[in-house]
Structure 1
Amino acid sequence: MGREVLSRQPFSVLIAAELTALEPGRCELQVAITDQLKQQHGFAHGGVVSYLADNALTYAGGTAMHVPVVTSEFKINYVRPAVGDRLVARAHAVHVSKSQAVCRCDVFAVTDGQEKLCAMAQGTIARLGDANATLQVA
């Protein structure tokens, strides 16, 4: 189900994002750092790093709550330039209620298998729509 949702997001398809792990309250998303995703200084554009964090936070919150969700708000801290071959975002739910989940995410730049933290994010993920709808993690 998670990969199906990702495939219905045109921007995710455009940048070839990959859902590499998903379980209740946890998510890992990855994207290759291509020339098209870099900014003028040669590292991944902050918007791409932010996208990965936002989407990973939403997956973590949605799978923890088992309902359709949207991002209510999130904050990101860029701690170093995202230089490498690939970006990996790992998010997990920290607090979950019926109406929202607060989640955290670390984004790493990967070069030759070595990960370096490039950003940290936290967000509030809010329940969307019909209270009777459920989200499956399969």
Structure 2
Amino acid sequence: MKPAYVASNPDYAVQLKSLVLAMPMAQWLGIQFVKVEPGEVELDIAYREELSFVPGKMQATAIFAAADFAGVSAAGTLLPPGWINASIDSSLKIVAPADGEKLRARGRVVSHSKLLTVSAAEVFSVRDGEEVLCATALLTARNIELQRR
């Protein structure tokens, strides 16, 4: 049974999207948020040649980026106001080629505490609306309180 998380920050979705989409890497990848709920995030990254290792197949780094952004963003939905998070550990297992028109990554919180949040992510290759699992990941994020002025 999936835990029902409650965000302590009423503006969690706006804060998360603005923080992530301000990152140059997120902008370059073209991350598009599809769903943002407490403890869960779904995002898309469209296929582009510069993200491939051969024409038509996404490179492992793009797959990892999708998993990392989805999982750590899911963790970010549970942060209180004035906190951010950062990846500190991860494990990615690629199980099939990413040869679709986009990647869809779904991140979800597994365990949440004040300082560390563990999340999981599944990354799918999407072609003509059909999803094929291409990778799974387990990620740990460090939760960081911003300096008070």
Query: Above 0.5 in TM-score?
Result: yes
Which of 43, 46, 51 aligns to 1:37? It is: 51
* Gap runs ≥5 in structure 2: 1-13
- Kindly indicate whether the alpha-carbon contact (under 8 Å) linking 1:6 and 1:19 is maintained by their aligned counterparts in 2: no
CA RMSD of aligned residues (A): 1.6
- Kindly indicate whether the alpha-carbon contact (under 8 Å) linking 2:106 and 2:123 is maintained by their aligned counterparts in 1: yes
- Kindly indicate whether the alpha-carbon contact (under 8 Å) linking 1:87 and 1:108 is maintained by their aligned counterparts in 2: yes
Matched, 1:129 2:145: yes
1:129–1:74 Cα change, 3 Å: same
- Kindly indicate whether the alpha-carbon contact (under 8 Å) linking 1:44 and 1:83 is maintained by their aligned counterparts in 2: yes
TM-score, normalised relative to structure 2 = 0.82
1:25–1:131 Cα change, 3 Å: farther
Q: Could you report, residue by residue, the CA deviation over 1:74-98 in whole angstroms, capped at 9, with x for unpaired residues?
A: 1100001101011000000011111
Identical amino acids, percent of aligned pairs? 28
Deviation at 1:59, TM superposition (A): 0.7
Matched, 1:116 2:132: yes
Matched, 1:75 2:117: no
1:98 paired residue number:
114
Deviation at 1:131, TM superposition (A): 8.1
1:23 paired residue number:
37
What SS does the aligned partner of 2:75 have?
Answer: helix
Which of 41, 57, 71 aligns to 1:57? It is: 71
TM-score, normalised relative to structure 1 = 0.88
In structure 1, how many angstroms separate the alpha carbons of the residues matched to 2:145 and 2:78?
A: 16
Matched, 1:7 2:21: yes
- Kindly indicate whether the alpha-carbon contact (under 8 Å) linking 1:65 and 1:101 is maintained by their aligned counterparts in 2: no
Deviation at 1:19, TM superposition (A): 1.2
Matched, 1:48 2:62: yes
Deviation at 1:122, TM superposition (A): 0.4
What SS does the aligned partner of 1:53 have?
Answer: helix
Runs of at least 4 residues of structure 1 off by over 4 A? none
Aligned length: 132
- Kindly indicate whether the alpha-carbon contact (under 8 Å) linking 2:44 and 2:103 is maintained by their aligned counterparts in 1: yes
